Amino acid sequence: MAQRPGTGVDTGGTFTDFVWLENGRLRVHKQLSTPADPAQAVLQGIAALQIPAEAALTHGSTVATNALLERRGARTALITTAGFADVLAIGRQNRPDLYALVPQKPLPLAPRGLRFEVQERVTAQGEVLQALDCSELEPIWEQLQAQEVRSVAVCLLFSFLRPEHEQAIGEWLLAADRQRREQEDDPGEPLHISLSSQILPEYREFERTATTVVNAYVAPLMARYLARLEAGVAPRSLTIMQSNGGVISAGVAAQEAARTVLSGPAGGVVGAHYVARRAGFEDVITFDMGGTSTDVALCPGRVPTTSEGEIAGSPLRLPMIDIHTVGAGGGSLAYVDPGGALHVGPQSAGADPGPICYGLGQQDGRKEKAALPARTRLEGGLYVTTTDANLVLGRLDEHHFLGGAMPLHREAAARALAALAQVMGAESAEAAALDVVRVANATMERAMRRISVERGHDPRDFTLVAYGGAGPLHACELARSMQIPRVLVPATPGVLSALGMIVAAPTRDYSRTVMRRLAETDAARLRAAYAPLEARAREEMGGEGYGTEQVTLHYALDMRYEGQSHELEVAFEPQLPAQALAQRFHEAHQKRYGYARREAPVEVVNVRLVATTPGAALEMPRQTARRRRARDGLAGHKAVWFADGPQRAALYERERLQPGQYFEGPAIVFQYDTTTVVPPDWAARVDGSGNLLLEV
């Protein structure tokens, strides 16, 4: 049986977060990240926590994400069917910038000079029209060597029906590379091969090609990183968080690195869903506000996934948690446009130069500010951020940031907000700060509406789970505007992604295009289409140490009305007749789009299979929550600005609050990794697990 993870490690831009469950008690740690080599921070944190050798680690990595965003992946080539080398460049006719007269598309990850064609052809029915001649690969191999290509994506037309040609190309290239390595004194790393029939055996040439190329582009970097990390953490076992909310072995992650591009945010959603269920809330909206962006997801009793993602301009058709991201965070820059309108984000001050209140020297000339937009600068070169606004409003405290380890500079922030107020025509620095927070909240509210109201969900039926460094600062005001009845702030909101990695279940996803009319098939034929996926799932899960009795298989179908371009995923049960499956699809379509065409033919496009084993069970103690007023945690009072002006707010230290204690707003709750704002007319109580539950 495979070892279950006991420590979650989430690499972020500023900090690498650790959560370790030791003797029923959660231990948390934040280690400064080391961007040049993220493995250093992981190893430093393991040493600082003294994590024992028998423990297991689950890691959320940003290696693949950063490689795509910064365009510093491996030199990648593409081999495809003759006539299809330019699929990557042509793409789709979608226009992300509707009013751009000359839209700029990102350059393909495999440049034109490294896209090669072979004379082979498989029909849309899966018949071999022209067989592959591997002798065509010899001149291609010579060019790969001459241009020092270390990763190759292979994507042939209709290979999802007949993968033999792709497999033959992969085997030929690996054999040629082995021969090269035997002949050279310093052969370097082995050639990496990504086959579309392995990565994404589905139709749609552009998305399948782009996804396979993304994997080829990031896999060598991920393999190199994981090899170093595995050697450093040995003998501890290492698993990697996927974008779909499950974990895979480090070996699989090295080969299929594209599955990890959203592992950090995915860990946060899994952690939020887990904490909410333990607190008795099944339907939640997760709200993760960090320094640069905000991630939101709607979980209607489950963690939602999608196969229609995109990163850095490249489609990624692999399963991932359905997360919507907007450029609103603590470091988001506030500015006034030429028309007099106030904007907040998406540009961010980041960690350097950072918010004014951090005191990192925005005015001393030593910080490089050329990368930030000129329109966001005030007189003196200052940049006002959402964090500065919260500090001026009193919602952050200069003496309680990061547990008091990092004092904030309120006077500097107030001077900058006063300058912004003059540009805006506002009465005071506090009035300008309130407007900055309102605009930032409006951006995040639109994101929440996108995943809830616009998809047929009523926010009043959900609980808002707030986490991240800035989420609890804004959660109650957002909940009020969305009519969400309650806010749940976990006990460790700043490291919730690392907690989610501990409880995430080992998961493998499989899919296959079938493209059949539902009326012309039956449950038996659909069941037969799953057979090769089931065999592969049991083999691969068994290879990771999980017995057949531990593996649970979940079945689903991608369905659509005939003539539609996109599908909806519907759960599949072998005993259901075609009519019941059609009815299930009609209901899903009605809920998502507001209508159903019950007279139209229904198509089954893809069959999907998810193999899982139980995740780690956290045996965290739960205390009896006897209701009583919170007095021990009271640390004083101060003036805090809200919509009606300054009000006297109580200050609480969260580590001193006990289960069952309650208090009313206005109040501010301080803790090491975040600050929670309880507005007037709101009340807070501590549940038996140490979560803060906020309600009107």
pLDDT tens readout for residues 504-528: 999 999 999 999 999 888 878 888 9
- Flag residues of the chain having pLDDT under 50: 1-5, 363-370
Bridge partners, residue 20, by sequence: 7, 27
Q: What are phi and psi of 36, to 5 degrees?
A: -65, -35
Q: How far apart are CA 625 and CA 620, in angstroms?
A: 15
| Residue whose token pair is 């961010």 | 348
Cβ atoms within 10 Å of 320's Cβ, excluding its own: 26
Task: For residue 495, give both structure tokens.
Answer: 């490291």
Task: Report CA dihedral (624, 627, 632, 635) to the nearest 10 degrees.
Answer: 120
Round to whole Å and give the CA distance between 120 and 127: 12
Q: What is the pLDDT of residue 3?
A: 42
How confident is the model at residue 541, as a pLDDT?
92
Query: Residue 552: how many CA atoms within 13 Å on its side-chain side?
Result: 7
pTM over cut 0.85: yes
* 155: its two tokens: 């994507």
CA distance 406 to 417: 21
Q: How far apart are CA 430 and CA 221, in angstroms?
A: 47
Cα distance between residue 245 and residue 236, in whole Å: 22
How confident is the model at residue 374, as a pLDDT?
A: 66
Beta strands in 468-612 (DSSP E): 486-489, 507-517, 552-561, 568-571, 602-612
Please name which of 277, 290, 630 lies closest in space to residue 473, comparing C-alpha atoms: 290
Please say whether the beta carbons of 250 and 230 come within 8 A: yes
Burial 633-654 (b: 16+ CB within 10 A, else e): bbeeeeebbbeeeeeebbbbbb
